Amino acid sequence: MASRFFCEEAQILNPASPGALWQPLIGTAFPVAVLSIMLFSSVVVQSSETADKHALVFLSDFGLTERFVASMKGVAVSVDPTLQLYDLTHQIEPFNVWQASYMLAGTIDYWPQGTVFVSVVDPGVGTNRKSVVLQTGSGHFVVTPDNGSLTLVAERQGVVALREIDESVNRLRGSEDFHTFDGRDVYSYTGARLASGAITFDEVGPLLDPRVQKLPYQQPSRIGDDVLLGNVVHVEKPFGNIVTNIPKSLLAELGLATDGHEYVMVEISHSGQTVFSKKLPYVSTFGEVEHGMPLLYADSLKAVGLAMNNGDFSAQYEIAAGSDWRIRLTRLP
């Protein structure tokens, strides 16, 4: 009964007579089989069309009040309306290349291989800094100016290859005379072409020396039996927690435990000047100290952090982050 109903309702074109319909063959499965094959073929075609496509993820310091983000996405959709577009963030502090690097390095690993990231924090837009695409060791791509924003990506995800964008082919047509919005005209356009499969990585442009431009900063290190050195890499918003690049494992090497009875002397300097010096308890979570009290802990990425229970550590002590912000931890007797 179900087959009879389906056959009577289905309108299947007769290829031997354009415009005509197959006469329903009541009681047989032939029209149903034909329609099933047609539907299956359509799925196969659609699957093959999207097999080489990947997500396109945007990061910038543009904010969301102006036209800039929408313009970049408009270019991407014009390249391929079926692309999946996502935002990492557009709230990077203006011109803060270090913050862009931190956000990229901390996010890339959680996306599928082949994902293309467009990172636009570009204080030197229109100058002779190189516009590049980095292929990471994790199987992702980053489209960005090579201005230090790849510092932490190169260290965490690794570099397989680096190519300079050939703007003679990988630039939005008609934008050749504009030099203040490469995020739209070069990076979004090239990223969309790469994510959609319109070009391969080899077609981005010529290979470069894989050593990207890096911002100098304090690598995590141990001095003697009691001292750790590191960098303040990030301030987590909106809570104001401080993130360092010192791994929890280094604290363990000093014999420190998160039982609330261990105290650490914490010193933070900016451009060589000490701006914070205080003895803090090493605990496992915020609620182990009184409200408004500062603390030392290990965050969800197993990195040493500073926070204030129900407060904003960064605002309270005027601490920021960047390559010129250093931290020194000393175990107390």
Residue 246 near residue 308, CB atoms below 8 Å: no
Question: What is the per-residue pLDDT for 259?
Answer: 72
Q: What is the pLDDT of residue 256?
A: 86
Tens-digit pLDDT profile for residues 33-57: 444 444 444 444 444 455 689 999 9
Give pLDDT, residue 40. Answer: 47
What confidence score (pLDDT) does residue 243 get?
A: 96
Which residues in the chain show pLDDT less than 70?
Answer: 1-51, 260
Task: Give dist(CA 59, CA 284) in Å, integer.
Answer: 32
CA distance 327 to 289: 22
Q: What pLDDT sits at residue 210?
A: 96
Q: Report how far residue 134's alpha carbon sits from residue 154's, in angstroms, rounded to the nearest whole number.
A: 9
Sorted by where each starts, the structural domains of the chain and their CATH numbers stand as 2-50 (no CATH), 56-203 (3.40.50.10790), 221-331 (2.40.30.90)
Q: Are 271 and 255 in contact (CB under 8 A)?
A: no
pLDDT (0 to 100) of residue 52: 81
- pLDDT for the residue numbered 301: 83
pLDDT of residue 31: 52
- Give the contacts of 211 (CB within 8 A, at least 6 positions apart): none
pLDDT score for 25? 40
φ, ψ of residue 330 to 5 degrees: the values are -125, 125
pTM for the whole thing?
0.79
Half-sphere exposure of 175 (CA within 13 A, CB side): 20
What's the pLDDT score for residue 103?
A: 96
How many Cβ atoms from other residues are within 10 Å of residue 69's Cβ?
20
